[in-house]
Structure 1
């Protein structure tokens, strides 16, 4: 599974590179609008994921680094974070 999550992270990073290139040098007419729109929607979804997972990240060693990775990679980073153990989850 690590290979799949790593490949997902790589493809997500490639998508953000395409969105950035589109902002610097816009693609042809219908394509640049679609890339910009899909980049905006994905950014909103990743920010929402980071907000929804905020509480579970508080016990992590570097929660801000995890939040940044969630904003960039989304669910592909969330799947690599280990689940809390039963002792940590019972007092919540």
Structure 2
């Protein structure tokens, strides 16, 4: 499963590089609008993911780095974060 999440991160990074290249040197007429639209939609979704996970990342060692990674990679970074371990209750 780690390979799948890593591949997703790589493809997401490649997409952001395409969006950046489109901003620096716009593609042909209909394509540059679609790339900008897709980039804006994906940025909005990643921002929403980061906002929804804001509190759950508080206990992590570097929560702002995790939030930045969520803004870049979205759910592919969220899936690589280990689940918090709940303390066991003692029945004494």
TM-score norm. by structure 1 comes to 0.93
SS at match of 1:76: helix
Q: Answer 1 or 2: which has greater helix percent.
A: 1
Please list every run of at least 4 consecutive aligned residues from structure 1 whose deviation after the TM superposition is greater than 3 angstroms. Answer: none
- Provide structure 1 residue ranges, at least 5 long, that are not aligned to the other structure: none
- Provide structure 2 residue ranges, at least 5 long, that are not aligned to the other structure: none
TM-score norm. by structure 2 comes to 0.93
Show the counterpart of 1:22.
22
Higher alpha-carbon Rg: 2
Alpha-carbon offset, residue 84 of structure 1? 1.2
Corresponding residue pairs, total:
88
Are 1:12 and 2:20 an aligned pair?
no
Aligned-residue RMSD, C-alpha: 1.1
